[in-house]
Amino acid sequence: MDAHDPTEEEAGVVVGLAHRLLSHELSQNDVDVVHRQLGRFPRGMLAVGARCVCGRPVAVITRPLLPGGIPFPTTCYLTGPSAVKAASHREAAGDMRELTTRLETDEDLRVGYERADRLYKAFRHEIALMVGDGEDHVAAVSAGGMPTRVKCLHALVAQSLVMGPGVNPIGDLALESMRDEFDPTVCRCPRLAED
């Protein structure tokens, strides 16, 4: 086994999660809500990966290949307006630079982040297999800057929301720093047209 491959236990976890999430038929209501959240049609959306306590989608699962064969490595995609706004505020505050610096000095954080990268790729791989998408174009690419830097808190927070606490330590830290603006256990969803 290569150090970049998931362990057997990790692979089992992501396979189970992918099958559980994609086993729920995507409702037109969820597609409509995400459309309103994003201000555009959610191309390649396969499932809702995480919900606000009120039931609205907060993060979705997206195909590795969008319609037209467009590569899309960001499998866990943040859609909830409060979450997106809070992540943007943390990015503007310099959290990405700070967290990247921590990765250079905190061995446990670095090891956990490398594990998050393996799990993300394994999760996307399982989804690609399930929906028949090729993934050669993104197989070596993760999301959010993993495994060596912090590039996009939105993607890392989405992974934490979809895959649960303890999977992505940087996503978990970002979520904690966002609690005053976004917390999936407290509904702060803005009213959207047709709500």
Global confidence as pTM? 0.93
> What pLDDT does 138 receive?
84
> What pLDDT does 3 receive?
54
- Separation CA 17–CA 162 (nearest Å): 9
| Residue of 46, 84, 62 whose CA lies nearest to 189 | 84
Interior CA angle at 180 toward 179 and 185, to 5°?
50
- Separation CA 16–CA 127 (nearest Å): 11
Helix (H, G, I), strand (E, B) or coil at 6: coil
- Separation CA 37–CA 50 (nearest Å): 14
Token duo for residue 12: 């089992």
> What pLDDT does 8 receive?
85
- Separation CA 61–CA 162 (nearest Å): 8
24: left (phi over 0), alpha (psi -120 to 50) or beta: beta
> What pLDDT does 195 receive?
54
pLDDT mean values, one per 10 residues, the chain (195 residues): 70 91 94 96 96 96 91 94 97 97 96 95 94 87 94 98 97 97 91 61
Token duo for residue 132: 């028949």
188: left (phi over 0), alpha (psi -120 to 50) or beta: alpha
H/E element, 192: none
